[in-house]
A and B are shown apart, each in its own frame.
Chain A
Amino acid sequence: MTTLAGSQAKSKRQQLAGKILHKIWDQRWLYVFTIPGIIFFLLFSYYPMFGIIMAFQDYNPVKGYSGSEFVGFDNFNTIFQLPDFNNALRNTLIISGLKLIIGFPATILFALFINEIHHTIFKRVVQTISYLPYFISWVIAAGLWYKMLSPDGGLINEMLTKVGFLNEPYYFMGSTTAFVPIVLFTELWKNIGFNAIIYLAALSSIDPHLYEVSSIDGASRVRQIWHIALPGIRGTMVLLFILSASGLMSAGFDQLWTMGNLQVQEVGQILDTLILSYLRNSGGFMGLSLGATMGVFQATVGLILFLVCNFVAKLFKQESLI
């Protein structure tokens, strides 16, 4: 009895094992396709994460991770006491928040305007040109805008004074009031064309029949946009809004690193730029630990934001981002 049951169980196990093996064999190529990737991320992303230890150490590169002294959460206490950090955290949230609140609708508006062009060649040319700033680096873009906005012979100041809008040249880049709006504007200038692609795609997938019907009903263009176009891209809008919201902890490192200057650091210093400046010019090795600590803080908050947004996305679209 027992032996029979035992052999039955055994054969069941065998069968099961055979099934699993069979399934693995069946999907062998899928394993082959992914194993290099698993190894890659293991080596180049996960393995170096041992560096996070730095945030809990008084790190000294010569002594290394094993030789440096552990200080527990001291570094976290230190950064919260630093005036730089609180300022940068606030600026990060303000700048990325504004980018979301203003950039998001502006991109949709831009897509709607492009969509309303009916001259095919003109439309294509405008689109091609609108991607152009996307392909240049912020180093170059920042240099350009500095030059254009300069109070000393900059094109914009010359125009504004000639028209009589300004009495004397205004130093835009040195003004704490003007700086954030300029950051927002240049961000839009650089990325709006490229970001609009997604909305244009969604717009083009709206059934043209809907437009025809509403035209016959005598609806104006604006009404058409309101009643047909916007509802048609609602899904995309929600998804993208959530996606951008999950990136709230990064306000655009390249842009702020290249556009910021001493006079406006009060409003322009963000976490990413602060971390880099700590890593580069710090007293002794302390900046390494403090920079890493800020990085860990930023990543943790970022990851939580992402999870929350992912959850919200699930609620809206019944599917998750990952």
Chain B
Amino acid sequence: MKIVKILIALVILALMAWGYAGTAHHREHAPETELNPKEIIFSHLCDNYGWEVPFSHSVKIPLPVIVFGSDGLSVFSSGKITGGETYKGYRIATDGDFKGKVVQDTPQGEIRPWDFSITKDVAGILISAFIVILAAFCLRNWYKKHGMKAPRRVPAMLEFVVEFVYTDTIRPIMGKDAPKYGPYLLTAFFFILTMNLLGLIVIFPGGANLTGNLAVAMVLALCTLAITNLTGTKHYWKEILWPDVPMALKCPVPMMPLIEFLGIFTKPLALMVRLFANMLGGHMVVIVLIMLTFIFTGMAGVAVGAATSVFSVLLALFMLLLDTLISFIQAYVFTLLSTIFISMAHVHETE
């Protein structure tokens, strides 16, 4: 049985190499285009106005474009502009500061309107949120229906994760504050986890590089920042503005208070950068590994490229498995650190 599976895998890999060799041979007759790895990588990682379907660059699932330009609100399908057309004065810039973004042509030149489009990333976020809601309500409905019975199948898996995050992590750290902040932390955990995992699936509804986008990670970190500082106790602020250190460190020059004050912002910044960099890095490595095939083809011909494809796919597969692990770890680390930051803001004098 094992041997059969390995054989099937090898046959698939061989077919891929052969198929690639075929297409590459076919392309040799097409007008040669310069391979630009950087552009390809970032076009995969960046936001888009449409959602590409597999095996085609031209067919895209259209998404709504919502822009607030000089002539007021405009809502139209992205299918009207992704081909490079101009619609109602709006088009996607091909170069300049706003490359790849919707711009509006006005008499004063091109301007960037307020862009509330449901882009690929926004759609991905909404899909993730929907999946999280489905998951949470799946578990909730199990309890509603079955009461004290232990969950089976999907609810059991979800319960295990909730137990791991809430009972084993949040509650020991937060103590009596756990029921108050648990929902936020659990929401953050499941949302990040879903976005991470969806980012690893290459076809719709996955494939959007969500948590590897600074905007997404930033919003998450800002929420933790807001909760930490808006709910902080008096003692927390006293520790920042007038910490228990020798007077020389805080009186003439407020060195320690300054450091503590910067700490307010560096903590969520670390959260943001950690999540963002890990996920972006994971995606980038997979794309680069796959790109190796094409780079080697360009350098040494079709045969070498075909041979490389086997190795690059195996390595990419390994990286994807690693990314699955990282997806979980990063979601957990974000939640764990948020828990610690929030609980640190709830210190009391007596403790």
Chains A and B belong together in one complex: no
